[in-house]
């Protein structure tokens, strides 16, 4: 249940960094509340918690994990469509004064957070990502388990580095042209918008990496340490 609360509360903070109009905040909050409540109902009444779910079909696991990510993304996009406002990264208002309610930064990072949300839920259904180790098996089993856990741990670190690279590329694009050196009023306004957009991207990055650390990297590290301790004691 913690992963549902973590991502939905984080999404609210991400959204409210730049948008504090009451109508939007209410609709966005309702979307997150509905998602959390739906997850709680599914866990309590249908036992669809990653810690206790017993699903034999891979397709069912994929569907369950993807469902919450899709709801997460959909609720946030809907709130922006209902309460339209040009994104802060928009340098100039279109000539027809048409409001672009969903900016590229929101679309990209909300989608990436939603996908990360789904992937973490998916991973938590497998014992490979559990910090616990079972006793009573042969030494070869634990060596294989150690190799698998070490491999997954390395891949998790690689993914974090990839996201860091993506963030750097986004910042390079957003801040290209040495905007901070310009002194005219338009540039100052663009600087403010770019600053807010940058803060939101950095926050989204840490939400994604934080989720990976809490539910993937730390459990894998604990498992590696437990296996090492097992070998030392046997």
Instruction: Read off the pLDDT of residues 144-164 as tens digits, 9 standing for 90 and up.
Output: 988 999 999 999 999 999 999
Token readout for 21 is 């109009």
What's the CA gap between 97 and 104, in Å, rounded? 18
- For the chain, which ranges sit under pLDDT 70? 45-56, 91-97, 177-190, 234
* pTM, full prediction: 0.87
For the chain, give every domain's residue range. 2-233
Q: Output the pLDDT for position 158.
A: 95
Q: Output the pLDDT for position 191.
A: 74
Q: Output the pLDDT for position 125.
A: 83
What's the CA gap between 209 and 212, in Å, rounded? 5
> CB–CB of 211/159 below 8 Å?
no
What's the CA gap between 161 and 181, in Å, rounded? 30
Separation in Å, CA 37 to CA 41, 44, 135: 6, 10, 37
Left, alpha or beta for 178 (phi > 0: left; psi -120 to 50: alpha)? left
Token readout for 91 is 């340098």
What's the CA gap between 171 and 112, in Å, rounded? 16
Report the Cα 18 to chain-centroid distance in Å.
18
> CB–CB of 200/109 below 8 Å?
yes
Q: Output the pLDDT for position 53.
A: 45
Q: Output the pLDDT for position 54.
A: 47
R_g of the chain, CA atoms, integer Å: 21
185 membership: H or E segment, kind and range: helix 185-212
């Amino acid at each position: 249940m913690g992963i549902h609360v973590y991502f939905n509360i984080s999404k609210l903070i991400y959204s409210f960094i730049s948008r504090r109009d009451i109508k939007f905040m209410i609709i966005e909050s309702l979307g997150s509340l509905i998602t959390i409540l739906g997850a709680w109902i599914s866990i309590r009444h249908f036992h669809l918690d990653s810690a206790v779910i017993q699903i034999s079909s891979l397709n069912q696991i994929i569907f369950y994990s993807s469902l919450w990510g899709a709801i997460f993304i959909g609720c946030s996009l809907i709130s922006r469509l209902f309460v339209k406002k040009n994104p802060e990264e928009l340098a100039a208002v279109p000539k027809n004064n048409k409001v672009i309610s969903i900016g590229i930064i929101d679309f990209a990072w909300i989608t990436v957070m939603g996908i990360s949300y789904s992937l973490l839920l998916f991973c938590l259904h497998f014992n490979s990502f559990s910090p616990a180790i079972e006793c009573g098996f042969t030494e070869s089993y634990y060596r294989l388990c150690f190799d698998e856990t070490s491999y997954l741990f390395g891949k998790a670190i690689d993914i974090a580095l990839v996201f860091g690279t993506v963030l750097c590329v986004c910042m390079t694009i957003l801040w290209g042209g040495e905007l901070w050196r310009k002194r005219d009023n338009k540039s100052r306004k663009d600087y403010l918008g770019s600053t807010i957009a940058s803060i939101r991207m950095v926050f989204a990055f840490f939400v994604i990496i934080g989720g990976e650390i809490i539910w993937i990297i730390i459990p894998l590290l604990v498992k590696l340490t437990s296996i090492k301790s097992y070998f030392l004691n046997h």
